[in-house]
Amino acid sequence: MKSEMFRHALATILGGGLGSLVRFGVGAWTLHHYPNLRIPWATLGVNWAGCLLIGLIYGWVPDRWFLGFHLRYFVITGFLGGFTTFSAFGIETALLFRKGDDLLAWVYIGASVAGGLLLAWAGMRISTLFSS
């Protein structure tokens, strides 16, 4: 592996670990203070925060010469990837709309949401069948 690629990978690993830790902290804090919530507010909150942050960063980073690839890998791929993968879905969908691929964006939304829910349900059913 080239040294540049290794540094990108290392930045991603460090950012991902930090993002995962922050997500864990938000979830643990929320469960500790609000144990009877019916809606998973911690997950919704980090997903919304991740989407806002990736949008802000994506709009800001390309115009900033001092923010190199290492920091982008650390923050966007690593931190926000560990914090929430929903942020990637959010920006990818926004970019499809920006390019004028509205139909493709809506198909992607439908496939992501419906497909994710269907696969989560299927996974639960499969594990139930094998554990019985």
Domain check: are 63 and 115 in the same one? no
Domain check: are 105 and 128 in the same one? yes
* Two structure tokens written together for 36: 């009877």
Domain check: are 17 and 68 in the same one? yes
Residue 117 placed within a domain:
yes
Domain check: are 71 and 16 in the same one? yes
Domain check: are 28 and 73 in the same one? yes
Distances (CA, A) of 130 to 53, 116, 120, 122, 126: 40, 21, 16, 12, 6
Give the pLDDT band of residue 66 (cuts 50, 70, 90): low
What total number of domains does the chain contain?
2
Domain check: are 76 and 105 in the same one? no
Give the pLDDT band of residue 122 (cuts 50, 70, 90): confident
Give the pLDDT band of residue 19 (cuts 50, 70, 90): very high
Residues 6+ apart with CB under 8 A from 45: 26, 30
Domain check: are 7 and 62 in the same one? yes
* Two structure tokens written together for 70: 């290492």
Domain check: are 80 and 105 in the same one? no
Determine the average pLDDT of the residues in 78-105.
91
The answer to whether the beta carbons of residues 78 and 15 sit under 8 Å apart is yes
Residue 23 placed within a domain:
yes
Residue 76 is part of which domain span? 3-85
For tokens 């919530």, what's the residue?
37
Domain check: are 106 and 73 in the same one? no
The answer to whether the beta carbons of residues 71 and 11 sit under 8 Å apart is yes
Backbone angles phi, psi at 68, to 5 degrees: -80, -175
